[in-house]
Structure 1
Amino acid sequence: MNKGKKRTILMMLCCLIAASCLYETMFRSEMEAANESQKVKKANHEVTIASEMSALPGGMGMIAENEHLQLFIDKKTTEVSVREKRNGQVWSTNPIDHAKDTIATAINKTNLASQLIISYFNDKGHESFMNNEEESIKKNQFEIALVDNGVKITYEIGSSEKGLSSIPKAVGKERFEERILNKIADEAVRNKLRTRFFYNEEKQQYERKKMQDYVVKDVVAVLESIGYTAEDAQEDNQMVESGDQAENVAPRFTIPLIYQLEGENLIARIATDEVMDSDAFPLHTMQLLPFFGAADHEAEGYMFVPDGSGALIYLNNNNHAARAYEVPLYGIDQTPLQNSKTEVQYTQVSRFPVFGMKQENHAMFAIIEQGDAQATITADTSGKLNSYNRVGATFKMKDMEPVVFRTGSVTKQVPKYSEMYDSGLQIRYAFLEDSSADYTGMANYYRDYLIKHYGLTRQKSGGDTPFVLELIGSIPVRKNFLGIPYPSTEAVTTYSQAIEILESLQQRDISQIQLKYSGWFNKGVQHRLPSSIKLDSILGGKKMFEKLLNYAEENNIEVYPDVAFQRVYENGKGFQASKDATRFLNRKSAKSFDDDIVTTNPSDMLYYLLSPRKLTGVVDKFLKNYESFDADGVSLRDLGEDLNSDVTSHETVNRQEAIGIIGENLQKIKEETGKIMLSGGNAYTLPYAKTIVNAPLTSSEFNIADEDVPFYSMVLHGYVDYAGTPINLGRDQDQRTALLKTLETGSNVFYQWFYAQPTMIRDTKLNNLYSPHYGDWFEEAVHLYNESNAILRDVQDQTIKGHRKLADEVFETTFEQGKKIIVNYNKSAVTVDDISIEAQGYRVIGGGL
């Protein structure tokens, strides 16, 4: 190459470099100017949106970042997105193209752009709805502020007009002059304001006169200029006697929403102690991020909901006639009268505070960490109200029920409200990819979470699987004396008969027995308050009871005498309903019913609800008396599944607070007794359970759902023993189906028996317990247990690492060390992947058999 050409090329390179430097300088200047314009002021604090170089399409700027995630916000719409650094996947609070939705109209359109959807009551107790898009963002009634690793957005939702609620009805003379008048510099304004109030010489206070709307606005403006707020007005109203001018205010709510990055997770929470409503419009419910991670009408995957064992709702399943999924966590709160009268739509309780969304090779999994006791999981598919599939949580902030007042011949019904829930709302979002982006990955993640936060520990390996047996001791009956009926009890399994049944099982080589013994004290199954313990003499007395315990100890049988703490079946004998029962909002003592285990309908077993305030005292007295028995365990009938509030006006306990009370007492019981058997197994009780019975092995089979999954079992297997409902009380009593379900879920065999003939329970409150005579089920139970134990005994300490549907009614469960069990629920043989499975049969691959 000649020197001329070299010189030309060199000059061209220099020009390119100079141009590049000039462009970079200009670009930086433009970005700095853009950044300067993207400052949102809150008081004296400035929030700077990060450089567009770190932005997402659509005008979002980055506001927080860590090793795993980046957090973005659109300062105009307050929509937030989080990006996974490992793969670039973006999850957003709202569908990116929601404005183009062709189905949604009116409020459903603005709901798509909302991060909060709330409901509230009016003065008649009627419910209305608002969202923060229509009632806050469009009105520019929000403030943005940076917090550690995230952002806080405070929304003012509702009317932008501040009315009479910001003006005191009455103010003491000294405070009015010092706090208000003396703060106004302009004498004319000061005098004008004074004319809006009447001075009551007798009461030594200024009282607000009636005002036209335009006067209200002027007065509010003056008060705001001196820093006098609606909270100040409310405080003044409480300090003095006030007039009765109506507060014709519009609904307005203050709700702070906070997003923060924490490791690989996004945290979304509501600072509930800063939430504000008004007496005129009490806040009822709050949907938090109802469209986070929503999937459009072309997406493939499913939504996971924690209904019973767990269920999947396929994306875009075209099941438009099905009702949206809407189920409260931990069952209903039985205290609000409205709830107790509600027809329960679900047959299985949601015991884990989780939900999830799978889209192709990515998944979002959410754990409700605060406010779970107030939460209802909701989900719906596309094609109904909008074009999106969504799953999320709604939180109850206040309860309401009508209270009737009678004055002479006049009857008036007015709404009565509970206190505002203020114990925090928080959802943790985890993000999964590839082979972990399914319900198996979600189960693995939640198990690890429980190990870290709840301290779950591995089961010890070796030995047979447990045979779980409930024996019923004595039951309530009605007897007659000289034609006069009176309540009594009747023995259906005495202490000696219990030993006889245990001996029969051991003679058939069933040695790992976990015995739940119900109805052993205080007048049977429907026992009195357990603050004292009196053995039922008709069962054999103390010596025979101790013989039962000694026999169990000598034969390595775990015995769990059953006790109900929250369900009180008799008023009296240490329990006064007027003092000790939780109450409805109308001040009446709360009552409920045991559910029929088969039909799930209320049975005849009526009981009072012990207030959470009284639980600790009852537990302490029980444990003190229980020390005299040499029992190394206890069965808790209701602490694992019942969760109720108490709205007694002076000592309110919400459900979230009740969780704390239950946890403290479970810890105490575990320390004193050693082993606990729980019924139900809500998430917050897991750290204390050795065994769980009546665990969910199926879902409620809602029309909107497409498939059951054993999520509950997948989380707990290898850590906690569990069994479903008693096999002999199943709906169809199909032993073969029960065996297959046991194998698929890794659950234990569970029967409920008594020794007496079934005629003993005829015309009693327990007549729903059909076919409980142990002799009718003994041989089948032994055979079913032996078959199940032979397959599951070597994996009982292993986790379930995989589960999948191979064909219709054909499922494969994979255990930690590779053993696979394929079950076929069909009444005809099937062949899947060259593996033949007989009708209602199973195949075991690996691990023997």
Structure 2
Amino acid sequence: MFKKILLIILIAILPVSVFAESLTSKEELEEIEVETELGEETLRFDSNQFTKPERENKPLPEGNLEGFTKVTENDKLALYVQEASLAIKIQNKQTGYIWHSGVDNAENYRLNNTWTDMVQSALTIDYLDRRGNIKTESILTEETQPSIQMNADGFTAEIDFRGSSIEVVLNVTLEDENIVIDVPNEGVQDGTYNKIVAMKVYPFLGAAHMDDITGYLFIPDGSGALMRFEKSAFRSDTPFIGSIYGEDEGFTRPQSTEDDYTYPAQKISVPVYGAVHGVKQNAFITSIEEGQSYGRVLAYPSGASTDFYWVTSDYQYRFNYFQPTSKSMGGFNVYQEEKNNFNIKQKVMFLSDEEADYVGMANRYQQHLEDKGTLSNNNEDKVDLRLELLGGETKKGLIWNSVEQMTEIQDIPRFVEELEQNDVDNLHVVLRGWTKGGLTGTLPQKFPLEKKVGSKGELEETIQTLEKKDIPFYLHTDFTTAFDGASGFSGSKDVSKKINGQPMTQNQFGYSSYYLSPAKSLEIAKKDAADFKDHGVENIAVETTASKLFSDFNKGMSSSRAEMIGLNQELFAHYQEQGINLSLYRPNDYAWGYMDKYLDMPMYSSNYMFVTDTVPFLQIVLKGYKPYYATFSNFSHNPTEEVLRMIEFGAYPSFYLTRESAQLLMKTPSRGLYTSEFASWKEELISQYTQVKESLGKVENSSIVDRIVHQQGVSEVVYENGVSIIVNYTDSDVTIDGTTVAATSFSIKEGGN
């Protein structure tokens, strides 16, 4: 009987015990899930696509001037030189800090003789010897003895490299808070048997050993990127090497882009780089004023060749290229016979105290561009929405191609009306695919209009309707691309050629295209301007022409990259003279002075392993001067986060939409536009505009003066009008200086910090 009672009690207790254990397990599971979510969130905001909070600065080392001779000084800086190597030191009189182009006590570091010579020398050259081998020589390599002449503002040095017999003239000048470094083209002479290939100028200026000091390198990758001085378990053994304005396709081998959906590395569109030694203590930003068309930005993390972080530029006097010798593409690599002709001019701008960070760099560069006349704050930088619409797209058929009608011109006023009824009161419209034949395969021919999209009368009527509402209407175009088989150009005479005689071709989605010779682009563009005016068009959105730069070896109309810049600037200036406004897609800096809007602003960096942070450098430079627009929101995988990034970076939203379903594009070159129906996206468009208006509407025509990362995923952007915008990417509410910001939201703080 006792055993039966005991068994009943055990049976009664067991479910309670099991239930209690299961409850505990459930609580533990929930706790684990929360911790996992927090961990994932922490990892995400600690990734290099965000910016990290600043750490406390370590004490900076005391520099010395032993072995250096004072050249000149002003009330801001003092310049010193070591005459044997032409190494320089610059003392910042405001902070007392001494910048060095080399390394003190180099024998204490892991540097072999070759690296020591480069680190301590003003110049390092690569050259081609008589046997076709590439060799490197620094000033100290063969104990070259420079001839130096001091002057009131700096010095001039003549260097006759003993190993290669190559001659170089170097000028270093002190100007206010800047050092100007100049290598004139006529001062660079090949040796008797050796030919110069490339040159580095003061490559170790601002270098830092491992994490000995607090700071970072700045590189112009995407929106901007930092390489912090830190010890890391994931040391990178590869450097950042980026050609300014992208690779020169006059020398590169063709690459297929057929159905290529890989994320490409971001192109360098602005020729700058810099370093910070002690955040808010000491920094410099280098602007490459001349020679940038032949330049690259190099940034080495600690662990890549040496234990130092260093950033510099090098300049290509001769490019290597592939010379085919058969139709099967057999051949060999050779270097240019003739030297590229250009001056090198670098302006190193030093920053002190509160200005000494990436924000200060951007502000200083902004001021520099304003001084040059590239930027003017006469432009209207007000909250705006970009609505791009696809009219028609080419669709291949068995016998002939047809046009898939996606949006008609007469739809546009209705779309605008629907948006205005929902308080989207400031926008502009860009129409793609308006040319006869549709978006793809028709360039360089532009007129007449595709009849499935609309008539000339409907275009003029729509322009007038939107004009009454103060809504600019843009036609999308491209003055550089020419499709194989299209009319308006000669495939043998008018297309750009590589140095080996091959045409520059691309192949995407089964359509081959060329790049027009820049001189031909200018000729066609001037003719097109009259046609645009005839159709009542006062605004165009230009793709490719402002972002692509190459050397053209077309015998009838050849041009260097520097000459192409001049031709394109003439093109843009012609449209300005005709009263036609230009919006430009990802333009290089030399086109900024001609644009009224910057389209497809990069909002991230390239995600290189050695990069630690993404920063809005480009945005800070342009904010308050030129309106800029993010990439298309209907391509985004995380719209909530993308809108917050727009608000933080000062960018305006963009959508690429159609009247019809994107399913109709599945068998066209625009099949990458996988979701685009206006009716489906209208509410999201209204929501994004409303959020951006509530935030950036408070800082219209105002520049960014500071940016503080309070914690991972929480940033504050301070504007010159005293308004701060705090953005909280995290899933938890935060309070910053008495201002509470809800999770995944933003808050406005009047009066700045």
Regarding TM over 0.5, the answer is yes
Asked if 1 retains the 8 angstrom alpha-carbon contact of 2:440 and 2:669, the reply is no
SS at match of 1:356: strand
What are the within-5 Å matches in structure 2 for residues 124-163 of structure 1? 127-135=134-142, 138-140=143-145, 142-146=146-150, 149-157=153-161, 159=163
Q: Unpaired runs of 5+ in structure 1? A: 1-54, 160-250, 594-601
* Aligned residue in 2 for 1:397: 317
1:781 is displaced (CA, Å) by: 0.9
Kept after mapping to 1: 8 A contact 2:271/2:287: yes
Q: Are the structure 2 counterparts of residues 648 and 150 from structure 1 closer, same or farther at C-alpha, using a change threshold of 3 Å?
A: farther
What letter matches 2:215 in structure 1?
G
Distance 1:273 1:716 in 2: 35
What CA distance in whole angstroms lies between the structure 1 residues aligned with 2:332 and 2:219?
A: 38
Instruction: Pick the aligned partner of 1:760 from 661, 664, 668.
Output: 664
Structure 2 counterpart of 1:466, from 380, 384, 391:
384
Structure of higher RCO (CA pairs closer than 8 Å, 6+ residues apart): 2
- Distance (Å, rounded) in 1 between the aligned partners of 2:131 and 2:432: 47
CA contact (8 A) 1:459 1:718 kept: no
1:738 aligns with 2:653: no
Separation (CA, whole Å) in 2 of partners of 1:847 and 1:62 = 45
Deviation at 1:410, TM superposition (A): 14
* Paired AA for residue 72 in structure 2: A
Report the more deviating stretch, 418-427 or 647-656.
647-656
Residue 649 (structure 2) pairs with residue 714 (structure 1)? no
Partner of 2:69: 61
The aligned residue for residue 231 of structure 1 is none
Write the deviation string for residues 14-48 of structure 1: whole angstroms up to 9, x where unpaired: xxxxxxxxxxxxxxxxxxxxxxxxxxxxxxxxxxx
Return closer, same or farther for 1:126/1:557 CA change in 2, 3 Å cut-off.
Answer: farther
**Could you tell me which residue of structure 2 aligns to residue 446 of structure 1?**
365
Match of 1:528 among 442, 454, 475: 442
1:391-422 CA deviation, whole Å, 9 max, x = no partner? 11122222221213359x99764625264222
Distance in 2 between the 1:147 and 1:523 partners? 65
1:714-764 Cα deviation digits (max 9, x unpaired): 11111101012111112x1x2211210111011111111111111210111
**Residues 124 and 415 of structure 1 are in contact (CA less than 8 Å); yes or no, is this contact kept in structure 2?**
no
Listed as ranges, the gaps of 5+ residues in structure 2 are 1-62
Please state whether the residue corresponding to 2:680 is helix, strand or coil. helix
> Which letter maps to 2:505?
K
Task: Name the CA shift for 1:308/1:410 in 2 (closer, same or farther; >3 Å).
Answer: closer
Q: CA deviation at 1:382?
A: 2.9
What aligned pairs does 1:561-580 form with structure 2 within 5 A after superposition? Answer: 561-580=475-494
Return the TM-score normalized by structure 2.
0.85
Q: Does 1:433 align with 2:437?
A: no
Name the CA distance, whole Å, in 2 between partners of 1:668 and 1:99.
58
Task: Give me the whole-angstrom Cα distance separating, in 1, the residues matched to 2:559 and 2:350.
Answer: 35
Distance 1:386 1:642 in 2: 34
Distance in 2 (CA, whole Å) between partners of 1:123 and 1:508 is 72
Are the aligned partners of 2:661 and 2:675 in contact in 1 as well (CA < 8 Å)?
no
Q: CA deviation at 1:637?
A: 1.0
Equivalence map 1:88-99=2 (5 Å): 88-99=96-107
Instruction: Give, in whole Å, the separation in 1 of the partners of 2:524 and 2:174.
Output: 43
Q: Distance in 1 between matches of 2:380 and 2:501?
A: 52
Candidates 230, 237, 240, aligned match of 1:316: 230
1:349–1:696: 8 Å Cα contact kept in structure 2? no
For 1:125 and 1:553, the matched residues in 2 are separated by 63
Q: Give the CA deviation at 1:427.
A: 0.7
Q: CA deviation at 1:633?
A: 1.1
Q: Which residue does the alignment assign to 1:365?
A: 285
Matches within 5 A, 1:395-794: 395-405=315-325, 413=332, 415=334, 417=336, 419-458=338-377, 465-480=383-398, 485-526=399-440, 528-530=442-444, 533-592=447-506, 606-648=512-554, 652-730=558-636, 732=637, 734-794=638-698
* 1:604/1:354 CA distance change after superposition, 3 Å: farther
Q: Deviation per CA, 1:499-533, whole angstroms, max 9, x where unpaired?
A: 32222222222221111111112432225344662
Give the secondary structure class of the aligned counterpart of 2:550.
coil
C-alpha change, 1:139 and 1:729, in structure 2 (3 Å) is same
**Residue aligned with 2:305, SS:** coil
Q: CA deviation at 1:557?
A: 0.8
> Equivalent residue of 1:63, what SS?
strand
- How far is 1:333 from its partner? 2.1
Give yes or no for contact 2:484–2:491 (8 Å, CA) kept in 1. Answer: no
- The secondary structure found in structure 2 opposite 1:724 is strand
Deviation at 1:778, TM superposition (A): 1.0
* Corresponding position of 1:352: 270
User: Sequence identity of aligned pairs in percent?
Assistant: 24
In 2, are the aligned partners of 1:531 and 1:622 still within 8 Å (CA)? no
Matched residue SS, 1:741: helix
- Distance in 2, matches of 1:419 and 1:635, equals 38
> Are the counterparts in 1 of residues 219 and 225 from structure 2 also a CA contact under 8 Å?
yes
How many Å separate the matches in 1 of 2:729 and 2:691? 17
Aligned-pair distance for 1:124? 7.7
CA contact (8 A) 1:332 1:339 kept: no
Matched AA of 1:465: V
State the shift of 1:337 in Å.
2.5
Q: CA deviation at 1:94?
A: 1.3
**Partner residue in 1 for 2:38:** none
Q: Which amino acid aligns with 1:550?
A: Q
Task: Tell me: CA distance 1:826–1:366, structure 2 relative to 1, closer, same or farther (3 Å).
Answer: same
Kindly provide the amino acid, as one letter, of the partner of residue 323 in structure 1. T
Q: Which amino acid aligns with 2:421?
A: Q
CA contact (8 A) 1:286 1:395 kept: yes
CA gap of 1:555–1:411, structure 2 versus 1, over 3 A, is: closer
Q: State which drifts further: 553-562 or 276-285.
A: 276-285
**CA distance, structure 2, for counterparts of residue 254 and residue 735 of structure 1:** 56
1:459 and 1:720 in contact (8 A); partners too: no
State the shift of 1:694 in Å.
Answer: 0.6
**Residue number among 372, 376, 385 corresponding to 2:296 in the alignment:** 376
CA–CA distance in structure 2, aligned partners of residues 279 and 524 of structure 1:
57
Does structure 1 conserve the Cα–Cα contact (< 8 Å) formed by 2:165 and 2:192? no
Q: CA–CA distance in 2 between the matches of 1:437 and 1:729?
A: 36
Q: 1:333 aligns with which of 224, 248, 251?
A: 248
Residue 627 of structure 1: SS of its match in structure 2?
helix
Which letter does structure 1 place at the counterpart of 2:389? L
Paired residues of 2:237 and 2:304 also in contact (CA < 8 A)? no
The Cα shift of 1:67 comes to 4.1
Give the number of aligned pairs: 683
Give the conservation status (yes or no) of the 8 Å contact 1:316–1:381.
Answer: no
1:84 CA drift (Å)? 2.8
- Aligned mates of 2:510, 2:725 — CA distance in 1: 41
**1:676 counterpart SS class:** strand
- For residues 59-208 of structure 1, the aligned pairs below 5 Å read 59-101=67-109, 103-121=110-128, 127-135=134-142, 138-140=143-145, 142-146=146-150, 149-157=153-161, 159=163
1:258 is displaced (CA, Å) by 1.4
Query: Which residue identity is paired with 2:630?
Result: G
Aligned to 1:236: none
Normalization by structure 1: what TM-score?
A: 0.76
